[in-house]
Structure 1
Amino acid sequence: MEQFFNGLSAVLWSTPVIYTCLAVGLLFSILTRFMQVRHFGEMIRLMFHGKSSAAGVSSFQALSIALSGRVGTGNIAGVGTAIGLGGPGAVFWMWAIAFIGAATAYVESALGQVYKVKQDGLYRGGPAYYIEKGIGWKWFALIFALAALLSMSLLMPGVQSNSIAVGMNNAFGIPTWVTGIVVVVLLAVIVFGGVRSIAKVAEIVVPFMAIAYMLMAAVIIVMNFDKIPDVFGLIFRSAFASDAAFGGLIGSAIAWGVKRGIYSNEAGQGTGPHAAAAAEVSHPAKQGLVQAFSVYIDTLLVCSATAFMILFTGMYNVADGNGGFIVEFLPGVEEGAGYTQAAIESVIPGLGAGFVAIALFFFAFTTIMAYYYIAETNLAYLFRGKKLFWPGIVLKVVLLGATYYGAVKTAALAWTLGDIGLGLMVWLNVIAILLLAKPALKVLKDYERQKKEGLDPVFDPEALGIRNAEIWHEINPIQPVSTTGKPDIQK
């Protein structure tokens, strides 16, 4: 069975798929005229605008939910794995996929807003919704919803809980089964509280954990300040095959950098639009821009913090792909979170294992919370018009069971299942957003036009020729006649 899973993961993450993800991000960057650069300041400004409502959460809460999904074990263990299997050059390709992936994140999140609905009094949206309403392929929307439900509830939680359990065992000697039970109990309290409970926990925990983690990285960089030119030089030389030791790993550097970069920042995966759709905003581009910035926070800040801790201290191994090592600075240490633990330990003895274990707990725990929200949204799509009580109970039990199972199983199997879940969603969502690029670009152009006119942009889908976006008539009601004699949108 494990061999089957490994084979499926290899197909889903074959070389053509990896380069397709890069190409799609580059295409959207060009089509949006590199909005990730032009609107950088606007992204930051919009993060703190908007308030929650009875139907939706605030922009910052939606950002926090998305970040809780993005900032997870991939930011610690995933970066270590990328360096261990792809060399230091993998870090550059993680940066590259984050930079161009910000445009992808804008497109999918803006679409999540455009085609969202109000269901059981709450905003719901995501790829299943924009596939059905935007493309008109209900069968394809059903496939995505089922794939997302399978991935978020069954395949991917185990990666996060496994990292928590292994970290706690390494740092404090706590048996994995004990950690599994504690995580499941805490998670149950939150997921039974619903989306507002998830949003409230996320907006407090996510900023706190990210800031604390980056401060630790800053301490290590300052203590190794003289190594800055060498480390950056090593990253760039390794990324472009000009380093004597790691030059032969350029293929692995790109593959592992892109794979772990997407796993971490989730641009194109289709997870971000679920949280984006829940935000109460007057124009879809607003939350699209906010969600684009979340990719920067995840990869350029948090993932880079991990990479710098590892590379500045030299606490890593790099496999040669043939069962040996190009460099082996940590004999016997498997690629992953162990590199980060050793890095911190080398600078502040006695702190490394415990700090990383606690960071992994917060990072991975909030990610599982986000997985539940995404799974619940797709369950709501599948059971529209029906009560979600019993299906919701089954979903909670399955997710909690998968979380515990992952905590007590091997890391290799957990990561393989996680890669399968991620691959399924990426394949389906990338097809959808390519087909729906036109309305996403119209939305951005409309937002930019209104901003130039000095307005606080509001969205009128009919004026842009966008159909099946009925919810916006309720969000931004159009009055029959204004003082100019023309239809007027009122906030």
Structure 2
Amino acid sequence: MTEFLATINEYIWSNALIYLCLAAGVYFSIRSRFVQVRQFPEMIRLMMSGEKSPSGVSSFQALTMSLSGRVGTGNIAGVATAIAFGGPGALFWMWAVAFLGASTSFVESTLGQIYKTRDRLTGEYRGGPAYYFSKAMAHTPAASAFKIYGFIFAAVTVLACGLLLPSVQSNSMASAMHQAWDISEWTVAVGTVIVLAFVIIGGVKRIAAFASIVVPFMAIVYIAVALVIVIANATELPSVIRLIFASAFGADAAFGAIIGSAVMWGVKRGVYSNEAGQGTGPHSAAAAEVSHPAKQGLVQAFAVYVDTLFICTATGFLILSTGAYRVFDGESATGPVLAEGGALPKDAAVGPAFAQVGFDTLWSGTGATFVAVSLAFFCLTTIIAYYYMAETNLRFLLGKYAPIPVPLIRGTIGSNITLLLQALILVSVAVGAVSTATDAWTLGDIGVGLMAWLNIIGIIVLQQPAYKALRDYERQKKAGLDPVFDPHALDIPGATFWETYRRTTDKDHVNTKM
């Protein structure tokens, strides 16, 4: 089974997908006139603004929901894996895919806002790639094809977020806790399942409330502690930076043979971590209560920076500056060792142990515990975000059969399938915790790759409304207005939520004046 999964993964994560992720980022950056640079101050301002409502969450809550899906084991174990199999240069390619991917995230998240809908049963905002694939072209002869494409993406997302991706998070969490406290993987599995079951039954509002508290706190603490260790090893920073760039472009003799691996692992782990282009960000973006889709598009673009340029960089510099790394040839821990920093024990496994040893170099005996606690929060919030995305796409697939998400309501097709999804993700978490790291990561890569293929190709076709929204937002800001979205004025058909929202807003404005 391991070999079979590895073969599938090799086909999905071929060079074609690597180049597609990079090329799409370059293309969207040029088309948006490098929105990720021009609008950086606006991203910061918008992050703390916005109102929540009975139907939607605030911009900040939507950001934290998005970060809860992005910030997970990829920020710690994923960085370690990229360095182990791609060399220190993989970190440069993670930066590259983050910078370019911020524009990709803007496009997909703005589309998610434009084509969001209000759940007819719960009243909550729902959206994502399945929604914009099925609605953006509804007025064209290609409507049926895009509707089918939306259903395919929704089915793949339910599979990926409900079964494939959660196992990676629980596996890393169980591994870190076992190393720190010698707790059995089964104990971690049972504990995680109990906590997860309590949260996911509460719906999107409980998910948003949980994420808005946990994610910012843990991210700030993790970055701060990592920076303390990096500063303590400040004399190593010049050699670390030289090593990263030399390895990234094959200028270092030790890594010249794996320059292709540096690109592949940097992009693969970069996309896995920041999720730009994967199609996960638009789900949380659509849940936000904003007056203009571009607002949340900019906020979600900033989320990519937080994930990779801040958290992943902190992990990478921590590992490299403390010498807690080992680089293998052949993209396997069984291959020859090309280089190592000297701080790792001989039996250290590729993964959270790299960061744990790095922290131990300054605070002996505390590294394993700190990383285990960090991963517990990061991974748990990521699994919760996965469930939200899986449920959103399941409700899209069920349509009129989607149930009101109240536990223990049975007797309908939709409610039974929703309960099945909840059981599926809990089983995935339990199995992932006790599985091998290799199988867990392979399953996760397959899930990410399938979603990325479908979403990136789709948004290349549907990108135009995102640019119209961006230009409209910038025009209104220049005029000193708080931008409000009008799809008719921009000739954007299919934005049914905003058509209703605009009519209601105009009516309320007239009544207020009277």
Match 1:402 to one of 402, 410, 428: 428
Give the residue type in structure 2 aligned to 1:423.
G
What corresponds to 2:407 in structure 1? none
Q: Which amino acid aligns with 2:128?
A: G
Q: State yes or no: 1:257 paired with 2:283.
A: no
SS at match of 1:321: helix
1:197 CA displacement:
0.6
Say yes or no: does 1:340 pair with 2:349: no
For the residue of structure 2 that corresponds to 1:477, the secondary structure is: helix
In structure 2, C-alpha distance between the alignment counterparts of 1:336 and 1:19, rounded to whole Å: 26
Q: Aligned residue for 2:493?
A: 467
Identity of aligned residues (%): 55
- Give 2:363's aligned amino acid: I
**Number of residues paired by the alignment?**
487
Gaps of 5+ in 1: none
Amino acid at match of 2:102: A
- Give 2:503's aligned residue: 477
Structure 2 length-normalised TM: 0.92
Alignment correspondent of 1:385? 400
CA distance in 1, matches of 2:95, 2:506: 49
1:364 is displaced (CA, Å) by 0.5
1:324 corresponds to 2:370: no
Correspondent of 1:299 among 304, 308, 317: 308
Counterpart code for 1:402: S
Asked if 1:8 corresponds to 2:8, the answer is yes
Given that 1:282 and 1:475 are in contact with CA atoms closer than 8 Å, whether structure 2 keeps it comes out as: no
**Partners of 1:294 and 1:408 in 2: CA distance:** 31
Out of 188, 193, 201, the position equivalent to 1:192 is: 201
Partners of 2:159 and 2:507 in 1: CA distance: 49
Distance across 2 between alignment mates of 1:17 and 1:118? 33
Distance of 1:164 and 1:327 partners within structure 2: 27
Structure 1 equivalent of residue 368 of structure 2: 353
Contact 1:231 1:312 in 2 (8 A): yes
Identify if the C-alpha distance between structure 1 residues 178 and 478 changes in structure 2 by more than 3 Å, giving closer, same or farther: closer
CA distance in 2, matches of 1:338, 1:96: 26
Q: Distance in 1 between matches of 2:297 and 2:505?
A: 26
Residue 219 in structure 1 maps to residue 228 in structure 2: yes
Q: Is the partner of 2:33 in helix, strand or coil? A: coil
> Which residue of the partner structure matches residue 108 of structure 2?
108
**1:275 aligned onto 2:284:** yes
Letter aligned with residue 53 of structure 2: S
Distance 1:112 1:437 in 2: 11
Provide the C-alpha distance between the structure 2 equivalents of 1:341 and 1:81, rounded to a whole number of angstroms.
14
SS in 1 for 2:489: helix
2:463 counterpart residue number: 437
SS for the counterpart of 1:455 is coil
1:25-424 superposed matches below 5 A = 25-119=25-119, 120=121, 121-135=123-137, 136=143, 137-321=146-330, 323-328=335-340, 329=342, 330=344, 331-388=346-403, 389-424=415-450
1:426 CA displacement: 0.5
Displacement after TM superposition at 1:74 (Å): 0.3
CA distance in 1, matches of 2:481, 2:267: 39
Partners of 2:202 and 2:16 in 1: CA distance: 42
SS in structure 2 opposite 1:49? coil
Q: What residue identity is the alignment partner of 2:51?
A: K
Is the deviation greater in 271-280 or in 469-478? Answer: 469-478
Structure 2 portions without partners, runs of 5+: 138-142, 404-414
The CA RMSD measured in Å over matched residues stands at 1.8
Please state how far the C-alpha of 1:480 moved relative to its aligned partner.
Answer: 7.5
By how many angstroms is 1:248 displaced? 2.4
TM-score by length of 1: 0.97
Letter in 1 for 2:118: K
2:480 corresponds to which of 454, 465, 473: 454
> In 1, distance between residues paired with 2:316 and 2:39?
27
